[in-house]
Amino acid sequence: MAELLHYPAVDSTNDEVIRLAQKGAPDGTWVVADEQTAGRGRRHRPWQSPKGNLFCTGLLRLTTEEEPVSQLSFLIALALYDTLAQWVEPARLKLKWPNDVLLDGKKISGILLESAGSGQPGDRWVAAGIGVNLAVHPDNTERPAISLAAAGIAPPLPMAVAERLATAIDHWRGEWRQGGFAALRSAWLARATGLGSRIEVRLPETTLFGVFSDLAADGALLLQLDSGAVKTIHSGDVFGI
């Protein structure tokens, strides 16, 4: 059962959950903040944290059936999709590999997973940080961003969204434990954007162009290059062409 802790302000919801985890907080502990003073995204990029948006992190203590951790990205994206679909017509929502949620083709959320523990079975936990643009969104970003308000949708209270999100994550964790990644994969593909389309994949050492042909059994993106060869992408930044 999820327990949501509300903070008027915190340095980072991920950092607070990590501190709580180290003190023995149970699975399903969530930190929801009105404001972050040092929010961050992937690769330590600053995450803008204006009031009115959702900033939350859940503590997920993983069971032996919940592996590998990388598959959580897809699970949380599915939970976010289902949560936002309570306020948005589902046809306006899409998932972009691996875990972005798009509204009207623009990014509305961000996910940051940080894991710790001994790595032994039964001793692995993840701080699952999630930000959603409810009231406002950043301008002049590399990927166009949007908020519910900018899309003409009255933004709900962040705590109401957090409550639904925690419930949706519990649901998809159950699906993951019972059906493995196959259950997540089929649901993710049904909501995906860019499948069968030409995309650009930026890797640390190069940039590749090709067609997003499929999602591998482990969640990797399968990119069909112009040569006809298929490249397996486990990590990279994807852009549409």
Please give the structure tokens belonging to residue 96: 């972009």
Write out the E strands in 62-122. Answer: 93-96, 100-103, 106-107, 109-117
Is residue 206 exposed (0-12), middle (13-18) or buried (19+ Cβ within 10 Å)? Answer: exposed
Q: Which domains does the chain have, with CATH numbers?
A: 3-190 (3.30.930.10), 198-240 (2.30.30.100)
Using the structure block, give the residue that is written with the tokens 């523990």: 117
pTM for the full predicted model: 0.92
Mark the ranges of the chain whose per-residue pLDDT is less than 70. Answer: 39-49, 117-122, 241
**pLDDT of res. 17:** 96
Say how far apart CA 194 and CA 204 lie, in whole Å.
Answer: 22
**pLDDT of res. 38:** 77
Q: How far is CA 11 from CA 31, 32, 36, 110, 229, in A?
A: 12, 12, 5, 17, 46
Question: Mind listing the pLDDT tens digit for each residue in 87-110?
Answer: 999 999 999 999 999 999 999 999
